[in-house]
Amino acid sequence: MSVSLGVIVVREVGSYRQSGATVTAVSHALAVQDLVQQIQRERGLSNGLLGGAAGLEQALADQRVSTDRAIDTLDAGTADGDQLRSALDRFATLATTRAQIDGHRVSRQAAFQFYTDGISVLNRLTLGLDSARDEQIRHGLRALYALGDVKEQTAKERGFLNGVFTANAFQPDEYGQFLEIRAAKTAGLAAFALYATDRQQRLLDAVLHGENATEAAESEQIAVASYNGPLLRSVAPGDWWAQMTAVIDAQRSVQQVIGDDVRQRAAVLRKHAALILGGVLLAALITVIAEATLVFVSVRAIVRPLAMLAADADDVADRRLPRIIAAWQAADRAQPLPPEPVRAAPGASTEITALTAALDGVQSTAFALASEQALVRRNTEESLANLARRNQNLVRRQLGLISEFERTELDPKELSNLFELDHLATRMRRNAENLLVLVGEASPRRWAEPIALSDVIRAGLSEVADYHPVVVHRLDEVAIAGGAVTGLAHMLAELIENGLAFSPPDVEVEIYGRMVASGYLLAVVDHGIGMPSDKLAQANARLRGEQDFVVAPTRYVGLYVVGRLARRLGIEVELNASPISGIVARLHLPAEIIATDPGEQIVAVAPPNSAVVAQCAGETRVPDGLILRG
Please check whether residues 105 and 163 belong to one and the same domain: no
**Could you give the CA distance from residue 52 to residue 61 in angstroms, rounded to a whole number?**
16
Question: pLDDT value at position 619?
Answer: 37
Residue 323 in domain: no
Got the DSSP string for 24-45? Answer: HHHHHHHHHHHHHHHHHHHHHH
Q: Mind listing the pLDDT tens digit for each residue in 570-618?
A: 999 998 988 888 889 999 999 888 886 434 444 443 333 333 334 333 3
Q: Does 586 share its domain with 466? A: yes
Residues 419 and 461 in one domain: no
pLDDT of residue 600: 45
Determine, yes or no, domain membership for 112: yes
Indicate if 35 and 148 belong to the same structural domain. Answer: no
Give the Cα separation of 560 and 543 in Å (integer): 6
Same domain, yes or no: 251 and 397: no
Asked if 358 and 408 sit in the same domain, the reply is yes
Higher pLDDT, 134 or 17: 134
**216 and 152 within one domain:** yes
The predicted structure's pLDDT at residue 524: 92
> Is residue 138 in some structural domain?
yes
What does R_g of the chain's alpha carbons equal in angstroms? 44
Is the pLDDT reported for residue 624 higher than 50? Answer: no
Q: Are 138 and 277 in the same domain?
A: yes
Least confident of 161-165, 317-321, 467-471: 317-321
Instruction: Tell me: do 142 and 282 sit in the same domain.
Output: yes
| 129 in the same domain as 107 | yes
* pLDDT surpasses 70 at 271: yes
Is 315 part of any domain? Answer: no
Residue that terminates a domain, selected from 261, 291, 321? 291
CATH number of the structural domain spanning residue 579: 3.30.565.10
Contacts with 281 (C-beta within 8 Å, 6 or more apart), sequence order? 9
Residue numbers of the domain that contains 428: 331-441
d(CA 559, CA 544): 9
Nearest C-alpha neighbor of 509 from the set 566, 542, 464:
464
Rounded alpha-carbon distances, angstroms, from residue 464 to 408, 467, 469, 490: 26, 6, 11, 10
* 146 close to 33: Cβ distance less than 8 angstroms: no
Residues 151 and 228 in one domain: yes
* Residue 173 in domain: yes
C-alpha 375/C-alpha 324 separation (Å) is 19
Q: pLDDT tens digit string along 31-67? A: 887 888 888 888 878 877 887 777 788 888 889 999 9
Q: Is residue 511 part of a domain?
A: yes
Domains: count for the chain: 4
